[in-house]
Chains A and B, each alone.
Chain A
Amino acid sequence: MVDPVDIHRIAGAALLGGAIILFGAGYAILHALSRLSGSSVLAGFSLLCYAALAACVGGLAVLLHLWGLWLVLVALMLAGYFIAPRFIWRLSEQVHEGDSKED
């Protein structure tokens, strides 16, 4: 189920793994900021972050031989990291909807 991976690829794969999370956070922050300010520039940068994340996921797949069933994991990561920040933004708006009435 797990293809053996050359040790020389491990450092690169670990760095890409860390980069995925950092770009994920970058995408999430910039997406939220763009929604707050209505800035299309920030929205563009957030998508750039996501593109970098996707590139890292692709790199990870190549380095770790994530083929076959592992491609499902790759697809779910790409979908999950893309959708989650947008989903949480909508949740935030819904949760805070009654704030003005309460205050």
Chain B
Amino acid sequence: MLEVLFIGLSLGSILLLVALGLAITYGAMGVINMAHGEMVMVGAYVTVLSGIWLGTNIFVAIPLAFIVTALLGLLIERVVVRRLYGRLLDTLLATWGIAILIQQAVRLEFGLTFLGIHIQGLGPGLQNVAVPPFLQGTFSILGADINRYRTFIILVTAFLALMTWFIIYRTAIGTQVRAIIRNPKMAAACGIDVTRVNALTFAFGSGLAGVAGVMMSGFKTVFPDMGTSMVVDGFLVVVMGGVGSLLGSVLSAGILGEINGLVAAATNDILARAVVFGVVIAIIVLKPKGLFALKGR
């Protein structure tokens, strides 16, 4: 039983890393970022590529993936999203397009396949990442065999969630982000550079998703489409938790992760996914603003 709860917790951790970025960008900026899942995918590929070309392990990949995806997020915000603030549906379509663009860039190895050049680690195929030996296997607590790698995922997530909490609630820039979530016009009238803060928030959220990708690469195969389902899961967490509420995202990521883990252990993955969708639908019907609503969807 403890093993199953633990698997659920690690699934919830990945969900949380994906959802934290969405919770902030969707909450603060009213942008539906369909390319957020691709940040997970890019983070996973950073792990693959740094393993192959630099010979480094997952610990180097975490900061590297954060930087790469944060910069990519910054670029997307600067070039596209910035021009679409206040146009929710347009952001959805535009970022969906960006998502497809990034997927194809990886699949076609940035177009180099047309020239007959191949980069090891890219392309349409499946990639695998080797986890360092001391993160493999299990250790036992209270008679339960606990997977080391899943423990690692939970610890990294806990650290990043705490760091996010600290930034949002204990720093000046975090106060600015919270002010923008609640009242962007008044925030600007108080001298807050909304455009700049939004860009940084977007980059930070993308970076967290990139780290989620690094974590996922350790126990799932890496392939160009892997981000598509992640963005859906991320939005499920955000909507269920209440838009703009970090605490809500943390709790709903935990709940959905556990439901997924428990049902999957008792039956199978497909049914687990169906139950997760069912629970989210039920919660949206009963509490349309989510568990901890700051504002509606």
- The finding on whether chains A and B are genuine partners in a shared complex, rather than unrelated, reads no
Give B residues with C-beta under 8 Å from A: none
